């Protein structure tokens, strides 16, 4: 498989960085779980001089906290049109669409997965998204799928 050089890794949250469950604690606060391997891979990705962004339809201070822990500078939450936000980020970073990898799990991610340089669906993504993805992870969302992609890209892309 010919893989473009990817400079921007764009991640959905629910179902990609997390398993996609909606869980509440006894005070009705939402609880989110992130996989440690994904965090380590994101840090390695950024250490290699690459950009990482979070692009989510939901808004959560938990996501802001996790992004801060990982040093992710581009966090866009509560986004109604992911493609518009993604294109705006590409413009700000002065990157072509082909230099981005977008990882999704649901139909809300379809436009960016279809139009980026390397579209990815996690193993438990909806069939509509899998049909358009260049790569489908072995791991499900929230279980190291992001790590699988980041490490795979760093090993396989054309230099």
CA neighbor of 15 nearest in space, from 113, 91, 96, 90 = 113
Owner of token pair 């250490």 = 47
**CATH code at position 147:** 3.40.50.1000
Compute the Cα dihedral for 159, 111, 76, 124 and give only its sign. Answer: negative
Domain enclosing residue 60, as ranges: 8-156
User: What would the pLDDT profile of 97-134 be if each residue is shown by its tens digit?
Assistant: 999 999 999 999 999 999 999 999 999 999 999 999 99
Rg (CA), the chain: 14
Number of domains, the chain: 1
pTM above 0.85, yes or no: yes
Does residue 123 lie within any of the structural domains?
A: yes
Q: Supply the DSSP string of 28-50, one letter for each residue.
A: S-EE----HHHHHHHHHHHHTT-
Percent of the chain at pLDDT exceeding 70:
97
Does residue 48 lie within any of the structural domains?
A: yes
Does residue 1 lie within any of the structural domains?
A: no
Q: What is the mean pLDDT of residues 140-153?
A: 97
Higher pLDDT, 159 or 33: 33
Does residue 3 lie within any of the structural domains?
A: no
């Amino acid at each position: 498989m010919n893989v473009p050089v990817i400079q921007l890794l764009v991640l959905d949250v629910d179902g990609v960085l997390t398993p996609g469950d909606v869980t509440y604690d006894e005070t009705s606060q939402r609880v989110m779980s992130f996989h440690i391997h994904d965090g380590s891979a994101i840090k390695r990705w950024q250490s290699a001089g690459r950009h990482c962004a979070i692009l989510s339809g939901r808004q959560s201070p938990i996501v802001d906290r996790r992004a801060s822990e990982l040093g992710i500078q581009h966090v866009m939450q509560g986004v109604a049109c992911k493609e518009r936000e993604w294109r705006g980020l590409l413009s700000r970073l002065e990157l072509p669409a082909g230099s981005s990898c977008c990882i999704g799990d649901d139909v809300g991610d379809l436009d960016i997965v279809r139009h980026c340089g390397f579209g990815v669906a996690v193993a438990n993504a909806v069939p509509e998204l899998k049909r358009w993805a260049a790569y489908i992870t072995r791991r499900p969302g929230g279980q190291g799928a992001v790590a699988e992609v980041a490490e795979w890209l760093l090993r396989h892309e054309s230099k």
